[in-house]
A = this chain, B = another copy of it.
Amino acid sequence: MKRYDLIQMGVDYYPEHWEESMWEPDIRLMKETGVKVVRVAEFAWSRLEIAEGNCQFGWLDRALDLFHKYELQVVIGTPTATPPRWLTTKFPDVLPIFANGETFQPGVRGHRCYNSTSLREYGSRITQHLAEHYSEHPAVIGWQTDNEFGMLDCHCDACNIAFRNWVKAKYGNLDRVNAEWGTVVWSGEYSDWNELTVPLGGSPHQNPSFLLDYQRFQWDSVVAFQRTQIDILRSVCPQHFITHNFHSYPQRLDMYGVGADLDVAAFDYYPNTSPAKQATTPYSGALSLDVTRGIKRQNFWIMEQLSGSPGCWMPMWRTPYPGMIRAYAWQTIARGADTVVHFRWRSAVAGAEQFWHGLIDHSNVPGRRFAEFTQLCHEVNTLEEKLTGTTLKNEVAILHSHEEKAALDIQPQAEGFDYYENIKQIHRAVTKLGVGCDVIDLRQPLDGYKVVIAPNLYLLDEEIVRNLEDFALAGGTLLITNRSGVKTTNNIAVMQPLPGLLSYCTGVEVLEYDPIGAETHKVIDAEGNPYECTQWCDILRPVVASPIAWYGDDFYSGTPAVTVNDFGKGQVYYFGTHMEERFWSVLLERLSKQQGLFRFEGLPDGVQASVRSGDQGSFLFLLNLSRESVTVALPQEYNSLLNHSICSGELQLEPYGVEILEM
């Protein structure tokens, strides 16, 4: 009954922003353009409940009836990211408190403490009212919880109490807290529960075990807050799906926890339009999409998609180049998006987001970008049947963890060392090779993968290690990098040689390390080819592993930099240093041959390939995400789904050109 897997286009629309007389012309034009889905209401609390308990849904009824009249489906956002002024005035505890004691004042958005009892009470109430009211509306298909959850690091009294309870629940008593956090350092020991507060003052030099648990508490607070809405929606609207729109990565959030309660994840995707970033944007974008697909390890939605120049809190970006809107929408589908909702139908004429441009400009005259969107809708609707139900099946996975990132952010390792940037570099190397790749939570089962790359496994426990070891023992190729095995999951350094719990499978021992930071050192591979490395140099003793590259600098010149260890039926690589991308490319290419990975060879720069498969067949997406025209050599003959021709040999892709080929 719940369907959220249709390949279709949508728009974000704010009826409350426009004269009611504009609604029907707008919606009629949506219909004509080929739009199928609309998201509404996620910021409309002050219109939906104009005073305490005074709900006014009439306007939304009329809008939804119009959507229904034109056969558009609707996702309703719960409006809790924007508590109205009557609520924050009456219950100031809704407002978050910064580390320095200042209040997150109303007037923008996101001014809500996830642990505020007032927010939870009134947020649940409006959710309940909305759910009951729209449970049976024929246009409504699903719900979005709140909007773009993010960490607020709130320091209010409610958070203090909630955090104390969270710590109690985790550790039981203060002796154990003191022991697990190592508070004896600098006389930070707690002797009374009331001494335990959230990190007031915000100093980054506080106990890192405490800081990491505070992060976890905040993550859990979001999940718990969302669950108050999920419970209502599941109970009142069992036939509707539930999603949430995650936004730009890296995100300081337990996406996996938030996602576990959803039917489908969604992402707000605004690839940078600047030609100066053309070399990296398509790849960091691809990573974002792969991360989103990894949240639930299934297809996803885009809830806000690039439609014009973003602006507002920064100077406006470049306008999307011709083809860019279409190509980036196809990129999301190529990487597992089903429905792609564009933000927004028309640019706002009022409020802070006036220059976050929609498909139609303030003038309300549809222009170049709208024409491109119209073409896109037409194409997507034509291919809907073919593509619906298809998914990506990859043989490579990169492991990702918000916990590793948080711990590595709490204590900087070396200048230039950045957990997510390191993932980006590896992901880019894989993507440029033409190999598909999943990005999944560290603790996920690894069945089905041939190669798993697990960078910077800083925090470890036995469970993670067993998962990795089992994968390798069974024949998998596992790649591990430096700063792994450094800590327990409580952010306490282990008292054993690094990589700690991974010493066994990697077969190496770190004798010492040298945080070279932004300096560039040299590494030589077995063929004598030179590469550059940065960030970190582990000085390694290969216990049973074999070196495959050696340092070429400093007092450890000639010692191993990268090793490989035969482990069970598989192999475990260890990178003692942060190798440049080229080294990853060479190694991954070799592995792809060894492992017989599916790969689209010979991709020019800026061109991405991916495959969606299903009962209807397999479909190869070739996307030129650059301003230059390029040629791609096709290894065989294909049917083009977009122009119904047969393609072979040299395929010409115009700037932002898109091909979808039946395999």
Interface of A is mostly: loop
Contact A79 to B187, CB < 8 A, known contacts A108-B205, A201-B102, A312-B205? yes
Which residue of chain B lies nearest to A102 when distances are taken between CB atoms in the complex?
A: B100
How far does the alpha carbon of A507 sit from the alpha carbon of B493 in the complex, in Å?
64
| A187 lies within 8 A of B47 (CB) | yes
| A191 lies within 8 A of B86 (CB) | yes
Q: Which of A257-265, A406-414, A461-469, A645-653 contacts B (4 or more CB under 8 A)?
A: A406-414
| B495 lies within 8 A of A349 (CB) | yes
Q: Which of A177-185, A222-230, A292-300, A564-572 contacts B (4 or more CB under 8 A)?
A: A177-185
| A43 lies within 8 A of B205 (CB) | no
Asked if A135 is at the interface of the complex by the 8 Å CB criterion, the answer is no
| A195 lies within 8 A of B364 (CB) | no
Q: How many Å from the CB of A419 to the closest CB on chain B?
A: 13
| A492 lies within 8 A of B349 (CB) | yes
The one of B105, B109, B181, B361 that contacts A200, using a Cβ cutoff of 8 Å: B105
How far does the alpha carbon of A319 sit from the alpha carbon of B519 in the complex, in Å?
13
Asked if A362 is at the interface of the complex by the 8 Å CB criterion, the answer is yes
Copies in the complex: 3
Please give the number of chain A residues whose Cβ is less than 8 angstroms from any Cβ of chain B in the complex.
107
Asked if A103 is at the interface of the complex by the 8 Å CB criterion, the answer is yes
Instruction: Return chain B residues, CB-CB under 8 Å to A498.
Output: 363
Which residue of chain B lies nearest to A514 when distances are taken between CB atoms in the complex?
A: B319
Instruction: Return chain B residues, CB-CB under 8 Å to A109.
Output: 186-187
The one of B209, B317, B349, B365 that contacts A350, using a Cβ cutoff of 8 Å: B209
Q: Which of A27-35, A68-76, A351-359 contacts B (4 or more CB under 8 A)?
A: A351-359
Asked if A208 is at the interface of the complex by the 8 Å CB criterion, the answer is yes
How far does the alpha carbon of A347 sit from the alpha carbon of B493 in the complex, in Å?
9
Q: Which of the listed residues A319, A351, A493 has the most CB atoms from chain B within 10 Å of its own CB?
A: A351
Instruction: Return chain B residues, CB-CB under 8 Å to A200.
Output: 103, 105, 107
| B352 lies within 8 A of A192 (CB) | no
Interface residues of A (CB under 8 A from B): 14, 16-17, 43-47, 50-51, 79, 82-86, 89, 100-109, 181-192, 194-195, 199-201, 203-210, 275-276, 309, 311-319, 321-322, 347-355, 361-365, 367-369, 411-417, 492-498, 511-517, 519, 554-555
